[in-house]
Structure 1
């Protein structure tokens, strides 16, 4: 029974991958409809970041920003505007926001949005599927410390918090969000004028943001485990490359990617995405195949064993 559920889940994920790839290619062929950038931002410093004891008396979704977190969010808004406005763009660029419903992400959104005029913002949407990983309800600090130590030994992706979620659970809802995101673009629910560069800004949480990138770039669980968390109000810029693929390497340096935990293979893939030609058949590069099938022969003749040759 579990095997059947696993197969159904894998098939659904493959279908979403195929639909996303086909849609990206179709939109690129139409020209200029895809957002120029998708910028993923973690919230500013919260009371829970500065004092883990806050979770014992305040539900996670109500944890507010600290004064430092407010300042970080404002600075992030200024930096993001500089990224958008200082690069070659249409003069009438626009932004659209998606935000987690938690207090700290909504506050981060309000502060960073101060850097944009009403003319530049075409919309905002609260999105529950990019909320923080659920750790349970009120958190007893000593118990959570022990649980997090267990998670480190078990593995961050598959470990499920008691009465809460694993990163794998977050992956499933982020996948659903991505499917909706593409429909929003496809059906122009964002009310975007195609003559203007569009920038999507997603205000979320540390783990949800890493899972978003994992899902987008089809990183493996092993690669996910390498990633470092975002700092408070830190952001990643996924920018459309010359060949129609989104890449972190268009805006960010190799040194930054290394600092964030990307392996050399992951960085090489980002560089390819920055310049590679997009097409419906390049969903899996030779590098992906080698990661799974390092012992495959190069030709059919090499793969036929001695006994099989004798029977032919």
Structure 2
């Protein structure tokens, strides 16, 4: 058997998501957080979103077929899937923590709002606008093209899996968006147009499907969040999680 479905989960709202939204609204230059990116935890709302996600995964029968679980090494992604599986009463498959699923690295722009980038790194801002989001690599960070390279490597490993029919992935907005781009063979204009009209919400579910190894992937569902709207304790949020997503040409 081979993997014919990939279910991509974005982590629930994190404390850094909340801090970034607060800083942007205040016109601040710096986002005040208490943890390095890898250690940022979920907010209380993010925990509730994860529970609602778990109920949705159970209702959809995520483990009706053999499942593999791959997770970002970042805490917020690991918390999300752990809470979801427990809340849904689901058995946890063997968990593979893979560094290629980490969030996009922003280098010198990390922890800066859009105002902070303009004021502190005006030359970098000009480079970003000239090159565009797809190719711009901030000093010490990654472009979207860089993230896609590591995801192409990851998807080769997916083809080598023998046994599971379904791969459940818990990661980040950029990883979800760019996995879709790789699987659908979207070039720069196509992915930028898709990103302009689509966002990856916290605790959302995106599904890709193919008939067999080597067959083309199709996008069955993108950023589904109905489970959050139906939950009395959760709500839909669309924090970008990053300061420069989608709004940059």
**TM-score, with length taken from structure 1:** 0.58
Q: Displacement of 1:37 after TM fit?
A: 2.1
CA distance in 1, matches of 2:45, 2:167: 25
Matched, 1:107 2:107: no
The answer as to 2:166 corresponding to 1:199 is yes
Residue of structure 2 aligned with 1:63, choices 40, 44, 69: 40
Q: Does 1:129 align with 2:105?
A: no
Contact 2:210 2:216 in 1 (8 A): yes
Q: C-alpha separation between the residues in 2 aligned to 1:155 and 1:179? A: 28
User: Greater Rg, structure 1 or structure 2?
Assistant: 1
Residues 113 and 206 (structure 1 numbering): CA distance in 2 closer, same or farther, change over 3 Å? same
Residue 304 of structure 1: aligned partner: none
Structure 1 residue aligned with 2:2: 34
For residues 143 and 55 of structure 2, the distance between their equivalents in structure 1, rounded to whole angstroms, comes to 34
Q: CA RMSD in A?
A: 3.0
Matching residue of 1:211: 178
Q: Which runs of 5+ in 1 are unaligned?
A: 1-32, 86-90, 193-197, 257-312
1:60-99 map, 5 Å: 60-84=37-61, 92-99=64-71
Tell me the residue number matched to 2:149: 172
The structural deviation recorded for 1:225 is 0.5
Task: Tell me how far 1:208 sits from its aligned partner.
Answer: 1.5
Aligned equivalents of 2:176, 2:189: Cα separation in 1: 17
Partner in structure 2 of residue 45 of structure 1: 13
Shift of the alpha carbon at 1:94? 3.1
Higher relative contact order (CA 8 A, sep 6+): 2
Runs of 4+ in 1 over 4 A off after TM superposition: 53-57, 145-150
TM-superposed CA distance for 1:113, in Å, is: 1.4
| Distance 1:144-1:113 versus aligned 2 partners, 3 A rule | farther
| 1:233 paired to 2:203 | yes
The Cα offsets for residues 173-213 of structure 1, whole Å up to 9 and x where unpaired, read as: 11111112222x1xx2xx54xxxxx3211111111111111
**Structure 1 residue 92: Cα displacement:** 4.9
Name the SS of the counterpart of 1:203 in structure 2. strand
Partner Cα separation in structure 1 for residue 112 and residue 82 of structure 2: 30
Larger fraction in helix: 1
Counterpart-to-counterpart distance in 1, 2:173 and 2:48: 18
* Distance apart, 1:168 and its partner CA: 0.9
Gaps of 5+ in 2: 21-29, 227-249
